Amino acid sequence: MTLLQQRKHEIITEYQVHETDTGSADVQVAMLTERINKLSAHLKTNKKDHISRRGLLKMIGHRKRLLAYIQEGSQDRYKALIGRLGIRG
């Protein structure tokens, strides 16, 4: 489940830290969240797709590590990011 180039550009412009930022941890977490949401919807209809489920779990683990990195640096930035993405309640 890849993202379209236009959607990637929208995510980058929305979550970038500065104007030339394309790969900060915030942007990476936002991209992973988008892919996770798309893959979750796919897995709801295709329950036996175990290979995609494994990929989903790997993406969730990667996002979790990136969020831990952001949380170490700045608690306020972490809370703002998860609030914007709506990933933790």
Residue with tokens 């790969």: 23
What are the boundaries of each domain within the chain? 5-85
Please tell me the predicted confidence (pLDDT) of residue 1: 65
CATH 1.10.287.10 for domain 5-85, yes or no, is: yes
What tens digit of pLDDT does each residue of 16-27 get?
Answer: 999 999 899 999
> Considering Cα of 7, then 9, then 12, then 14, what sign does the dihedral take?
negative
Task: Specify the pTM.
Answer: 0.91
What tens digit of pLDDT does each residue of 17-73 get?
Answer: 999 998 999 999 999 999 999 999 999 999 999 999 999 999 999 999 999 999 999
* Beta carbons within 8 Å of 20's beta carbon, 6+ residues apart: none
Angle in degrees, CA 50, 48, 87, rounded to 5 = 65
What tens digit of pLDDT does each residue of 70-85 get?
Answer: 999 999 999 999 999 9
The secondary structure of 32-47 as a DSSP string is HHHHHHHHHHHHHH-T
